[in-house]
Amino acid sequence: MDDLRKLGGVDQVIYITGHLKERVEEYVRARFPFDSVFIEQKVQDGTAGAVALARPHVNEPVLIVFVDTIFDADLSVIHTSDADGIIWTKEVEDYQRFGVVVTDANGSMTRIVEKPSTPVSKRANIGLYYIRNWKLLFEGVAHVLTQPKNKGEYYLTDAFQYMIDHGATIRVIDVKGWYDAGKLDTLLETNRTILERGAARRPATVPAGVRVIDPVYVEDGVTLSGATIGPNVSIGTGSTVEKSELRDTIVGARSRILRSKLARSLVGDEVLLDGVEGEVTVGDHSEIRIG
């Protein structure tokens, strides 16, 4: 969102929401000045289905950003590109996890292969697109929605393939950095990267007996007592950390961490951990007591 604010020329932002939609809307309205539209995707039928919901609000080129990706990219290229679209990619070694983009000699996309077993390409599709030819995009989306589902979903990438098959040119640009939040290891690495790049936020006051090892992100309303937090720790509002040590860990909102020592852990909202030591992944509204 900060990148869009710097980019200029963005008239409206359309949010396709689902889980926690009320919290998303509350967060956006409190922080960002754009004209905002919120549409709930009640049927989780894939990315093409999600983008189709935005059709009544689109009458000009669109930038499509998936919310589970964080990237370093110069978006200003959209102001000068004459291609029908742009897809941003990142070369990866574990290409089997992603859809990868195949290009021609001119650097334009020819096809996307989902989770290939052979290295036809290592340029991962990161979920960031600019579509100048928006009419052809939605024609492609409409076509995809009339076809049998692809592995149980309607993929936006199939709409891009439709565009290419109908003469469109989609330019492929590699991003400088891409930080995946799709699994635990990469989520913790992404958290570390964000903190190191300026998103850190120390507690307004550090109580006696509390040690903070930067970088950390501590929201308002967090209670710290006899604790050591950091490095690379994020703690959500209303949580308590007491007589515990946390590093390389993300803690959600309104959770209580007591007499614990956590590393490389992910703790959800409204969780109680008491006497826990090691690496844990704990979902919302859970309780673990040891000893």
Whether 251 contacts 235, CB under 8 Å = yes
- Residue of 105, 171, 101 whose CA lies nearest to 133: 171
pLDDT for position 11: 86
pLDDT for position 71: 86
pLDDT for position 19: 86
- Whole-structure pTM over 0.85, yes or no? no
pLDDT for position 228: 98
Side chain identity, residue 76: S
Give the C-alpha separation, 102 to 120, whole Å. 7
The angle at the Cα of 241, spanning 240 to 247, to the nearest 5 degrees, equals: 135
Whether 38 contacts 15, CB under 8 Å = yes
* 4, 176, 287 from 251: Cα distances, Å: 28, 29, 14
pLDDT for position 202: 96
If the chain, 291 residues long, is cut into consecutive pieces of 10 residues, what is the mean pLDDT of each piece?
85 92 90 90 94 96 89 91 95 85 94 84 93 98 95 92 96 89 81 91 94 97 97 97 98 97 97 97 96 79
CA-based R_g, the chain, Å: 22
pLDDT for position 210: 97
pLDDT for position 26: 92
DSSP readout, the chain?
Answer: -HHHHHH----EEEEEEBTBHHHHHHHHHHH--SEEEEEE--S---HHHHHHTTGGG--S-EEEE-TTEEEE--GGGGGT--SSEEEEEEE-S-GGGSEEEEE-TTSBEEEEEES-SS-S--EEEEEEEEES-HHHHHHHHHHHHTSPPBTTB--HHHHHHHHHHTT--EEEEE-SEEEE-SSHHHHHHHHHHHIIIII-B--SS--TT-EE-SSEEE-TT-EEES-EE-SSEEE-TT-EEES-EEEEEEE-TT-EEES-EEEEEEE-SS-EEES-EE--EE-TT-EEE--
